[in-house]
Amino acid sequence: MPVIVASGNGASALPAGMRILARGGSALDAVEACAKIIEADTTDTSVGRGGKPNVLGEVELDASIVDGTTHRTGAVAALTGYLHPISVARAVMERTPHVFIVGEGAARFAREIGAERTQNLTPSTRKLWVERLRSVGETPSSIRRRTKLLPVVRKTVREERGTVNFLALDRRGDIASAVTTSGWAYKYPGRVGDSPVVGAGNYSDSRYGAAACTGYGELAIRSVTAKTAVDRLAAGMPPDMVARAAIADANELEDAAFNIVVLSPKGVHASATNREGRRYVWMTTQMEEPMLAARIVVRRAARLSRS
């Protein structure tokens, strides 16, 4: 039975994705359509237009898409000036001999395929950026004149991140996954998180399932979290245990917010986090509305000293 699973901030997009699956559409089309809705929603300050900028006030977007049946993947990172990074990522997958294009090359490719341009920094996110700069004694013009950004970035970046994940299973049993984000607010220019890194923030394999992450992306890169989760599904671990294990791995590295959603080929899903009160969302063709559900909380145990 078709199902879509998402991070909690994907709820508003699920009915549109479900309509695609209900009429026999592909998981790949469903996850792209869902991601586009959140990218265009300026009220989500962690994704697409209205996403928070880097320390220089530029909104750099990361996205990836994985076709779990063919293992074709496409990704873009640090893309500026385009409304739908997920569709540019899909075009990388379908129209180029590559899988990952970043920065100016990604913008050039987006222009070449006629992707929709936009100013992703909105008046309200510009205001938040200016306020954050002010809180560390900087202004938009002073920060642009600086040769050394790192001392400022150390002060501007806090746990202000966010991303949207979509995992879908269609009627044919194909699974696909999409992740899109503006990454870490007020980050160093060019910083790339896990969301566009296939295997870290996003992975699917129609034989075994799919997984995608939100939270401190550096941890997902260091643990290759999404691929490890799918490997655990392949080894027969149930989705809730897989989700728990992913958070336990992250907890071993650092104390930082980290979350995962997991989907099996049978449509069984689970999600875990190391923070209280986080939710994920899912929907099947039988449901009128998406269902928000609690994520399993896996707390970080006090670290034992290794002697």
Which residues of the chain form contacts with ligand ASP (CB under 6 A)?
A: 161-163, 181, 183-184, 193-195, 201, 214-215, 217
Tokens describing residue 62: 């990361």
CB of 21 to ligand ASP, least distance (A): 25
Reduced to 3 states, what is the DSSP secondary structure of residue 132?
helix
Residue pair 195/201 in contact (Cβ under 8 Å)? The answer is yes
Helices (H), 23-164: 27-40, 85-95, 103-112, 123-135, 140-145, 150-156
74 vs 217, which CB is nearer to ligand ASP?
A: 217
Reduced to 3 states, what is the DSSP secondary structure of residue 247?
helix
216 vs 282, which CB is nearer to ligand ASP?
A: 216
69 vs 274, which CB is nearer to ligand ASP?
A: 274
**Residues 67-91, buried b or exposed e (16+ Cβ, 10 A)?**
bbbeebbbbbbbbbbbbbbbbbbbb
CB of 181 to ligand ASP, least distance (A): 5
Task: Identify whether 163 is a catalytic site residue.
Answer: yes
Reduced to 3 states, what is the DSSP secondary structure of residue 133?
helix
CB of 38 to ligand ASP, least distance (A): 12
237 vs 248, which CB is nearer to ligand ASP?
A: 248
Q: Which of 73, 125, 156, 163 is catalytic?
A: 163
CB of 194 to ligand ASP, least distance (A): 5
Supply the residues annotated as catalytic. Answer: 163
